[in-house]
Structures are given as C-alpha cells and as structure tokens.
Structure 1
C-alpha cells in the first residue's frame, strides 16, 4: 500500500503554517479529510503514524504542526529536543511528571547543558496548554486552507484529537459550523456555552482510570443531551489516559482496537 506523504507550507491571512499530509498514492482526488490533532508532544512519529493510518483508510489525512511559528519550529520545540524531554520523563515515575519539585530534583542530576535544555523545552511544550485560543486559530486556518486545496476541495472535513488534541477537536467543532464530525480521545470537555455552538456529531473515547478527565464527563453528556446534540462515547474498563498511544506504557490494546474500529465507522458515516 503506497502512501504519498509530505510536509507542506501554506499561508492564511498573512500567517505561514506547516502541515503533515498523507494519502494513498493511487487514490483519486479530491478526498474527504481527517484532521489529526496532536498530543502535547507535537506532530511526532506517533501522530504521523496515526495520520498515515487514516490515509490508508482512504482519506486525505493531515496533521497541523501546532508548534510551528511562521511555518518553522522554534529551537526549543524541535522534534529532537522534545524527544529528549520524553526520554527524560520516562526515567521518572508518572506522578513526578507534573511534580515540579520531583522533576527539578531529577533535573539536577543531569549535566548542566542537558539540564537547561530539558528545562527550557519542557516549559515551552507545556506552555501550550495555556495557548488554546492561538492553537484553535491555527486549526481553523488549516480548515480554511483545506476547503480550497486541490486534493480536498469540495470534500467534507472532520477532526480527531488525542489528549490536548482531543480538547482542541471539540473546540474546533464548537467554532467551525461546517465541520462534518469530531472525535475526542480523553481530552478536556466543553462547557454549556461551547456545546451550544456544536453543529456536527461528536464521538468520544475515555479510559475508566482517567479520573481527572472523566470527572467532567457527566456534565458534558448532560449538556449535549439538553442541547439536542449528537454524542456517543465509550469508557473502557481498565484503561488509563492515553490508552490509544502505542508508544507509551498506558497503551491498552483491547480498548484501542475497539476505538479504532468505531472511529473509522464514524468517519465513514460523516465523511463519505
């Protein structure tokens, strides 16, 4: 199965953006689009692999690089630097990842240059959790570009996102009336005001052991029901946050298999 993959740059409203694209080389275009929205770690190998999986299902699959500034990654947010942070964090117990005191104690054991680079990249990566309005604008720019792009012009567009990207997939649904569908994997959920502006069907996947996210699920379910919005979801027994990421210890194969099948069925329904 031959894929055509490439990074492309486009300009929208005077701002340059960067986008990973993947499609079957022999597929006739234009194609319906699946926008794959990154976790906090960016458009890394895992996100590009997911994008390729959607391309193999017959879509133009794209992953916007939300860390790019004017189409280019800042030095602290290059993929190499982010991979170094991920490798460092994997040496710590998960509770220490967001424990500043424990993390700093571990950083002090690193050589000075590595310590400062790790600290700077960690800070810049997680600063994006407070930049959702700017990240959402980048996603909306991608939608506008894809609406006129030769390989997708005139076709429907839907989104899927993971963790931070899951939250952004929902926010995109709340902000873009013509989005065909939105999938959220264990992302922060919306309030009633944001729910009111959703026009497309929404599909959600959550891990039973992901207490922080799941605490808001009943309120979101109620808000979607009261607003007469389409929302179906699964909560997988024994699954943690990030259960779909097969590069992390939280990976749950049974939950992931079921979620993948349901995601493809959802996109077939809303896009084709």
Structure 2
C-alpha cells in the first residue's frame, strides 16, 4: 500500500471505484474522474495504487499451510462451462466426515483473495471448494482488470450452473458429510442467493452484498440465509426492501446484518474498502451459522 490513509480518501472515490469495479464506467473514464480528487501531494497514480488490490501483503492463510491440504482440482459442469477448475481445501485432521462450503468469487474470477477465503473456511473445519468460473476462458488471468473483462464474456446463468455443479461435486466427496453451504461476495453473493433458489438440498447460504432474487424466485428458497450488507452500498441495498418482503411473505428463514459506515467489499482485505471490525464480525457470524446448519 502507499502512504495514503483510508481517512484521506473521500467517499466519492470509493463510489467511483465501485462503478469501475462493476463495469459501469471504463478504465479511461475512471482515471479521468479520479483526477478530480488528485489534490496537492495526492496524485492520480497514488490514488490508483492505493485503491487497487494488494494481494502480496494481505494473505491470511499461506498457500501451503501445514494444517491444510489445499490443491487445484477439476470437476464437470455439463450445463455450464464444461470442465471447471477450483481450489479444494481440506483440514488435515478430521474426525469422520465433515461439511462442505462452496466459496464464490466476485466478478473477476478466482483471485488470491478468494483462494485465501477458501483456505480460511477449511481452517474453520470445512471442506471448501472455490471454483473459477473463468476456466472456460483460460481462468483468472492474474489481475482483476482483465478478470472483469473475461467474466463479462460469460453468461451469468451458465456460471450459476458451474457453482451448482460444484455443490454436486462436494456432496459426493468421500470426506464430506453431504451437508453443503455456500458463501459468496458481490457476484458471488448473487450466486449464493440463486443457489438457495435452485438447489433444494443446499443447507445454508451466506450472500455478502449480493444481488437479490425476484419475489417468484424467493418463494422457491429452502435453505436458511445469513445475509450481509454494507451500509454505504446503496447500489445493492436498493433491492433489499423487496427481497425482505418476499422472504417474510413466504416465511423463509433468514437473518440480515447491515454493517454501519462500511462500503461494498468490506470483507475483502486486499483493498482500502476493507473494514477489519465488520469483516471479522461477519466472518465469525458466517462460521457460527455454518456450524449450526451443517454439522
């Protein structure tokens, strides 16, 4: 990270980055708009460096953690992208079969942050599978900008099928007890909601700041939901009122938390949108929820 501090940056910069990260504006327009906030010693370059992901210094669980067996596997997604690559992480010490958790990436493929989250879930006692929906296009390309461009080339419903196929893969894994949950972030939050709609056997779903299903789709949900939103994320939060009404109308089991004063992406510890308090609290709630519903 640069020497800039989070408190030095206006909320408008975070909102601008959100528009860029979700393909509402292109990179050239993003940089042009960002220049408005380059004042004094704060340059456009320093702003870009500060707000971009820093994967090198933020990993919480090393790739070769001694307590984990974490390796890439492939599985078949016949209704989606065909052969899909994913990171499968398993605790080395298990007493019998254990539950599974699907970890769903944002709109840029299986980047180092999501791989790290997969390993975190495994350290907490689950078999985790973090698929890469960019596999049919060559996989995560090594940077998020190109990853977003690649993901735009895939149909999101076909990608949903890739994650449903990951559920089926884990369900039959010899070390899995057959109870599977899903946690996803941004695009992955939408996938988590939609897996709850489309997979009757799903045992738990945890969408982080994800797009919401329609009222008709919500009526099909069987899985209990733990829903995380960021207070400042007005783009996603606008859909919550209708979603909550549909959940209540259909007597669905759900719990929702709005984290005050934080932005979309607050769980992602590789960017300055990260909020440590909200991230840790939400993850503790997530793991407790999975232990309650999957064990």
For 1:45-64, list aligned pairs within 5 A. Answer: 45-64=112-131
Unaligned runs of 5+ in 2: 1-65
Aligned to 2:165: 141
Q: What is the rounded CA distance, in whole Å, between the counterparts of 2:77 and 2:265 in structure 1? A: 32
| Secondary structure of residue in 1 paired with 2:152 | helix
For 1:99-114, list aligned pairs within 5 A. Answer: none
Relative distance call for 1:8 and 1:214 in structure 2 (3 A) is same
Q: What is the rounded CA distance, in whole Å, between the counterparts of 2:239 and 2:153 in structure 1? A: 23
Aligned to 2:183: 160
Aligned to 2:149: 123
Aligned to 1:103: none
Q: What is the rounded CA distance, in whole Å, between the counterparts of 2:248 and 2:71 in structure 1? A: 40
1:186 pairs with 2:209: yes
1:234 shift after superposition: 0.7
Deviations along 1:98-124, one digit per CA (max 9) or x if unpaired, are: xxxxxxxxxxxxxxxxxxxx6xx6532
- Contact 1:12 1:145 (8 Å CA) reproduced: no
Provide the TM-score with structure 1 as the length reference: 0.79
Aligned to 1:264: 287
Aligned to 2:250: 227
For 1:205-244, list aligned pairs within 5 A. Answer: 205-244=228-267
Relative distance call for 1:29 and 1:22 in structure 2 (3 A) is farther
1:12 shift after superposition: 4.8
1:32 pairs with 2:114: no
1:29 shift after superposition: 4.8
- Contact 1:221 1:231 (8 Å CA) reproduced: no
Deviations along 1:194-232, one digit per CA (max 9) or x if unpaired, are: 101100100111111000111111111111000000111
Unaligned runs of 5+ in 1: 86-117
Between Structure 1 and Structure 2, how many residues are aligned?
A: 228
Deviations along 1:33-83, one digit per CA (max 9) or x if unpaired, are: 0100001121111001101111001100110111111xxx42xx5432x34
Q: What is the rounded CA distance, in whole Å, between the counterparts of 1:64 and 1:46 in structure 2? A: 13
Deviations along 1:99-150, one digit per CA (max 9) or x if unpaired, are: xxxxxxxxxxxxxxxxxxx6xx65323344xx22101111111112222222
Aligned to 1:111: none
Q: What is the rounded CA distance, in whole Å, between the counterparts of 2:266 and 2:175 in structure 1? A: 32
Deviations along 1:250-270, one digit per CA (max 9) or x if unpaired, are: 101111121011111100111
Q: What is the rounded CA distance, in whole Å, between the counterparts of 1:12 and 1:214 in structure 2? A: 31
